Structure 1
Amino acid sequence: MNKPALWTKDFISVSGSSFFLFVTFYMLLVTMPIYALEEMESSPSEAGLITTLFVVSAIIVRPFTGQWIERFGKKKVLIISQVLFLVASLLYLVPDSLWAMLVLRFFHGIGFGMATTVTGAIIADIIPDSRRGEGMGYYAMAMSLAMVIGPFLGLTVMQKWGGFTMIILCAVIAGLALVAGGMIQGSEQPSVHGVMSIFQVQLRAHDLLEFSALPIAIVGTFFSVVYSSILSFISVYAIELQLEEVASYFFVVYAVVLLLSRPFTGKWFDQYGAHVIVYPAILLFAVGMLLLSQVSTGWAFLTVAGLIGLGWGTLFPSFQTIAIQKAPPEKKALAIATFLSLFDLGIGFGSFVVGLIVTKISFSTLYFYGSFYILAGIAVYYILVQRSQSNRLKFEKNESVDYTGEKYN
Structure 2
Amino acid sequence: MRASHAYFLFVGTLLTAAGYGATFLLTEHFRALGGSEIDTSTTLGGAMAGTLIGVPLVGWYAKKLKAARMGAMGAVSVAAGYGFLALLTTLTPLIALAGFLIGLGWGIFYLAGPMALSERVTDQDRGFWFTRFGAFQMAGIGFSPIVAAALVEHLGLSTRGAFGVIAGATLVAAVLLLTFEALSPQASQARAQTSNWMRALPALLSSRAIYPILMVGLGACVFSGMLTFQSSLVRGTGLEAGTFFAAYAVTVVVARFVLAPMINRADGDRASVVLLALMILGVVTAFGLVYGVPVQIASAILLGLGYGLVYTVIQTQAVNDAPPEHRSAALTWFVIAYFFGIFGFPVLGGWLIVTVGIAGFLAAVLAFAVAEMALALLRGRQTTRKPVSA
TM-score range, shorter chain: 0.7 to 0.9
1:4-403 to structure 2, matched below 5 A, reads 8-27=3-22, 29-32=23-26, 35=29, 38=32, 45-46=38-39, 48-90=41-83, 98-126=92-120, 128-130=122-124, 132-133=126-127, 135-158=129-152, 160-162=156-158, 165-182=161-178, 183-184=180-181, 185-189=184-188, 205-206=198-199, 211=204, 214-240=210-236, 242-244=237-239, 246-295=240-289, 296-325=291-320, 334-358=329-353, 363-364=358-359, 367=362, 371=366, 374-384=369-379, 386-390=380-384
Contact 1:83 1:178 in 2 (8 A): yes
**More displaced 10-residue stretch of structure 1: 364-373 or 113-122:** 364-373
How many aligned positions are there? 374
Contact 2:197 2:332 in 1 (8 A): no
Deviation per CA, 1:69-121, whole angstroms, max 9, x where unpaired? 24443234334333444455555565577355543442343232212221122
Contact 1:209 1:335 in 2 (8 A): no
Which has the greater radius of gyration?
Answer: 1
Q: Which amino acid aligns with 1:340?
A: V
Q: Which amino acid aligns with 1:63?
A: P
In 2, Cα distance between equivalents of 1:188 and 1:375? 44
Contact 2:18 2:144 in 1 (8 A): yes
Q: Which amino acid aligns with 2:241?
A: A
Deviation per CA, 1:217-244, whole angstroms, max 9, x where unpaired? 211112222333312333322224x242
**More displaced 10-residue stretch of structure 1: 181-190 or 142-151:** 181-190
Contact 1:265 1:277 in 2 (8 A): no
Could you tell me how far 1:23 is from its partner in structure 2?
0.7
Deviation per CA, 1:16-71, whole angstroms, max 9, x where unpaired? 222111112322x24555555656x6676445422221222112221232121244
Contact 1:136 1:320 in 2 (8 A): no
Secondary structure at 2:185's aligned position in 1?
coil
Deviation per CA, 1:201-221, whole angstroms, max 9, x where unpaired? 998722789937543121111
Contact 1:20 1:177 in 2 (8 A): yes
**Alpha carbons of structure 1 residues 293 and 33: separation in structure 2 relative to 1, 3 Å:** closer
- Return the TM-score normalized by structure 2: 0.78
Which consecutive unaligned segments of at least 5 residues does structure 2 have?
Answer: none
Could you tell me how far 1:373 is from its partner in structure 2?
5.2
In 1, Cα distance between equivalents of 2:358 and 2:84? 37
In 2, Cα distance between equivalents of 1:330 and 1:176? 37
Secondary structure at 1:161's aligned position in 2?
coil
CA RMSD of aligned residues (A): 3.9
Secondary structure at 1:239's aligned position in 2?
coil
Deviation per CA, 1:115-150, whole angstroms, max 9, x where unpaired? 222112223444554455554343222232222321
Could you tell me how far 1:275 is from its partner in structure 2?
2.6
Which consecutive unaligned segments of at least 5 residues does structure 1 have?
Answer: 192-200, 393-409
Secondary structure at 2:234's aligned position in 1?
helix
In 2, Cα distance between equivalents of 1:8 and 1:177? 18
Q: Which amino acid aligns with 2:280?
A: A
In 2, Cα distance between equivalents of 1:363 and 1:349? 18
Identity, % of aligned positions: 14
